[in-house]
């Protein structure tokens, strides 16, 4: 079983027992972040009482402000606190390197000390030297947590874990931030003493910290080992992606030893060369496949060994398969888009289709509809900018403003309008514009019920949510990676349970 530590942050010592009880429900260890307290010293008798009745181990932490502490506690205040707290029974003590090096060797039970260092700016250039200095202290466990600004920043963190295992030492190594999430999920299987998770969204104490329930139920962290097949989605950003919910649910019901990670990548070239390609990667992991999202769908094509001809025509790869020592590229967006339409229409030959938008999403849609024999017109806010795409596919392009769609069988929204957030109340077309259309198809899937779809229903149109494309393309991806068919009901529930 993976050890999950859940931090507790409250302002008053009398709040600790209740907060600890909640944290102990989902965690194997509870960390008391006493730097959050108005009076940290008042917590010592409370903690002493907690050790007598709480079944899970407790870590006591008094973080310095320079390393992410919540208070303004000076070095002297922290030193005085530890001189009183060191006699607490059973608990582990998380102390920064500056205090550990100044403590008298005989004054602490070093088997219960975690010597820690936190860097919220990035990966320090001297991280290996820092690791050696910490390993030279009498502390039994060392902890290094650094900010990751790109997925490649995780590489030195995994190397620290590998070195600690070779040397027989205990280490907690974490890359913080969204790009570092993989270290929180894969770390325990690579020797990290524990991993941190929160009790709900509102109680996170570090960037990139996952919910403990998601860590166990979504990522199945307890079942991950060195043989686990690793998949993931690369893009910037990826925190909003529902693909981890889809594919992890599919892996679970298929009884596969596999995990799917959100991997935030700024530099696609560096990621492919240093972490993905079997011939050059610097990380020892069983990477088997990747989803690719914006802005990397075209960029990754320059670093693959083979690309499916349809993906070359579309000009975008959204799926990578690792086979032997090669990376193979595919585009499943087109197949995912067209599958729900074929279910409704059968043949699309001669069907009139309007596409609103001329960005990356429109490319796969144009390719799929053209190959299906549909008659297509592109509608764009900036016709001049859209001319390259319309010329490439040989379709007319019209202004989106004040467009009328009554002569079309299908209208596809390939713009981001309606997406959860600042665009949520916007639509590519109103009910008045959509009257007479048979089917309105929105590629936006979050929320499921977009304004575009509401306008379409008001106009009397049938509708298709972007959820259908999302799930259909994921089915094709899953087959490419595993040669298996995912359970469609399972993956649909995995998404609809979290969407509004």
Query: What does the alpha-carbon distance between residue 82 and residue 87 come to, in Å, rounded to a whole number?
Result: 9
Query: What does the alpha-carbon distance between residue 143 and residue 83 come to, in Å, rounded to a whole number?
Result: 21
Query: What does the alpha-carbon distance between residue 148 and residue 221 come to, in Å, rounded to a whole number?
Result: 21
Q: H or E stretch including 288? A: strand 287-292
The angle at the Cα of 222, spanning 18 to 203, to the nearest 5 degrees, equals 30
Active-site residue, from 86, 90, 143, 297: 297
Pick from 372, 378, 308: nearest CA to 346: 372
Which residue is listed with tokens 């509608």? 379
Q: Which structure tokens are listed for 128?
A: 């290996």
Pick from 415, 416, 471: nearest CA to 243: 471
Determine the angle formed by the axes of helices 333-345 and 466-482, rounding to 10 degrees.
Answer: 120
Query: Based on the number of CB atoms within 10 Å of its own CB, is 18 exposed (0-12), middle (13-18) or buried (19 or more)?
Result: exposed
Q: Is 297 a catalytic residue?
A: yes
The angle at the Cα of 106, spanning 105 to 108, to the nearest 5 degrees, equals 80
8 A C-beta contact, residue 82 and residue 53:
no
8 A C-beta contact, residue 460 and residue 473:
no
Q: Which residues does 222 contact at the CB level (< 8 Å), separation at least 6?
A: 1, 2, 216
Pick from 294, 285, 295, 297: nearest CA to 261: 285
Three-state SS annotation for 82-105 = HHHHCCCCCCEEEEEHHHHHHCCH
Q: Which residues are catalytic?
A: 297
């Amino acid at each position: 079983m993976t050890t999950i530590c859940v931090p507790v942050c409250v302002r008053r010592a009398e709040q600790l027992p209740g907060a600890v009880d909640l944290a102990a429900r989902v965690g194997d260890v509870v960390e008391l972040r006493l730097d959050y307290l108005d009076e940290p010293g008042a917590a010592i008798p409370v903690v002493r009482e907690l050790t007598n009745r709480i079944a899970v181990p407790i870590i006591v932490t008094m973080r310095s402000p320079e390393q992410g502490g919540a208070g303004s506690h000076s070095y002297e205040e922290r030193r005085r606190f530890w001189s009183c707290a060191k006699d607490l029974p059973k608990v582990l003590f998380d102390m920064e390197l500056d205090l550990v090096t100044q403590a008298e060797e005989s004054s602490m039970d070093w088997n219960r000390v975690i010597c820690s260092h936190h860097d919220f700016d990035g990966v320090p250039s001297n991280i290996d030297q820092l690791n050696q200095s910490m390993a030279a202290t009498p502390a039994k466990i060392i902890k290094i947590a650094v900010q990751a600004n790109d997925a490649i920043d995780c590489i030195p963190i995994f190397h620290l874990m590998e070195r600690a295992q070779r040397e027989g030492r205990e280490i907690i190594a974490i890359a913080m931030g969204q790009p570092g999430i993989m270290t929180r999920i894969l770390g325990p299987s690579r020797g990290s003493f524990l991993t941190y998770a929160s009790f709900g969204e509102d109680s996170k104490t570090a960037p990139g910290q996952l919910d403990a329930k998601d860590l166990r139920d979504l990522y199945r962290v307890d079942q991950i080992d060195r043989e686990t097949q690793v998949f993931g989605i690369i893009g910037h950003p990826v925190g909003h992606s529902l693909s981890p919910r889809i594919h992890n649910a599919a892996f679970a019901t298929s009884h596969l030893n596999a995990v799917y990670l959100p991997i935030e990548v700024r530099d696609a070239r560096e990621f492919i060369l240093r972490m993905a390609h079997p011939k050059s990667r610097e990380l020892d992991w069983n990477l088997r496949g990747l989803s690719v999202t914006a802005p990397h769908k075209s960029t990754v094509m320059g670093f693959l060994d083979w690309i499916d001809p349809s993906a070359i025509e579309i000009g975008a790869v959204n799926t990578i398969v690792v086979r032997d020592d090669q990376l193979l590229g595919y585009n499943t967006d087109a197949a995912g888009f067209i599958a729900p339409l074929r279910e409704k229409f059968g043949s699309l030959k001669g069907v009139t289709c309007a596409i609103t938008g001329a960005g990356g999403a429109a490319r796969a849609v144009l390719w799929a509809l053209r190959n299906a024999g549909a008659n297509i017109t592109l509608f764009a806010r900036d016709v001049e900018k859209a001319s390259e795409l319309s010329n490439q596919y040989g379709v007319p392009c019209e202004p989106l403003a004040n467009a009328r769609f009554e002569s079309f069988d299908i209208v596809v929204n390939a713009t981001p309008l309606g997406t959860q957030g600042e665009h949520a109340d916007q639509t590519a077309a109103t009910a008045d514009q959509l009257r007479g259309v048979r089917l309105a198809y929105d590629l936006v899937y979050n929320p499921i019920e977009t304004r575009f779809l509401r306008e379409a229903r008001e106009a009397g149109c049938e509708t298709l949510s972007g959820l259908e494309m999302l799930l259909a393309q994921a089915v094709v991806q899953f087959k490419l990676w595993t040669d298996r068919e995912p359970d469609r009901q399972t993956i649909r529930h995995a998404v609809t349970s979290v969407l509004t």
